[in-house]
Amino acid sequence: MLSGSKVVLRARYEEDIPILRTELYDDAVTGSRAEGAPWRPVTPGAKDPRLFVDDQGPETVSFSVVERDGGALVGTATLWGIDNHHRAAHIGLGLLPSARGKGYGSDVVAVLCHYGFVVRGLHRLQIETLADNHGMLRSAEHNGFVREGVLRSSAWVLGEFLDEVILGLLAKDWKPNATS
């Protein structure tokens, strides 16, 4: 497990899956904004690759996010696109609607930075998010990520094209949080 000041990142447990499916992936709007593909319903009991982590290759590490105090499930966190040659990866996270706006996102990003830079020895982490995802932009910038560019009208989401923001952080520029 990896701990931050508000959250713990741990392995995905079987009992996490129904909660994550219901609160993050069954909703067409949330699912469409979080994925780089069109939303589609998933049959209950199906091994949804967004939720089941057993079959993932070495380029993806997925975590469940729980509250540090109390242990309630609050979301997911992923280090994906891990490239060991270039020592780079991407960060992704999804918080349950009830967990948003409480500072968990910034803490998750901090813990993923610790995992990427300290545990994995990576050189660069990157985040891509929709330009109107102000919570993710704040969480990234709070942790030292720098806006590197905007991909204009690059994401087709619910009937319209939206801009995506690319943010990056290098290991040498990272200021570790004492709790992570």
What is d(CA 38, CA 73) in angstroms, rounded to the nearest whole number?
A: 26
- pLDDT over threshold 60, residue 90: yes
The residue behind tokens 């609050």 is: 74
- pLDDT over threshold 80, residue 48: no
Mean pLDDT of 98-102: 94
No. of helices (H) and no. of strands (E), the chain: 4, 8
Contact 163, 176 (CB under 8 A): no
What is d(CA 141, CA 168) in angstroms, rounded to the nearest whole number?
A: 9
Confidence of residue 49 (pLDDT cuts 50, 70, 90): low
Confidence of residue 180 (pLDDT cuts 50, 70, 90): very low
Whole-model pTM: value is 0.90
* Tens digits of residue pLDDT in 116-128: 999 999 999 999 9
Confidence of residue 136 (pLDDT cuts 50, 70, 90): very high
HEC string for 72-141: CEEEEEEEEEEECCCCEEEEEEEECHHHCCCCHHHHHHHHHHHHHHHHCCCCEEEEEEECCCHHHHHHHH
* Percent of the residues in the chain that have a pLDDT greater than 70, as a whole number: 94
> Across all residues in the chain, what is the average pLDDT?
91
Give the per-residue pLDDT at 38.
81
Distances (CA, A) of 152 to 51, 145, 155, 165: 30, 20, 8, 9
Among the ranges given (6-20, 27-41, 135-149), the one the predictor scored with the smallest mean pLDDT: 27-41
Backbone angles phi, psi at 115, to 5 degrees: -60, -45
The residue behind tokens 């891509």 is: 128
Give the per-residue pLDDT at 50.
67
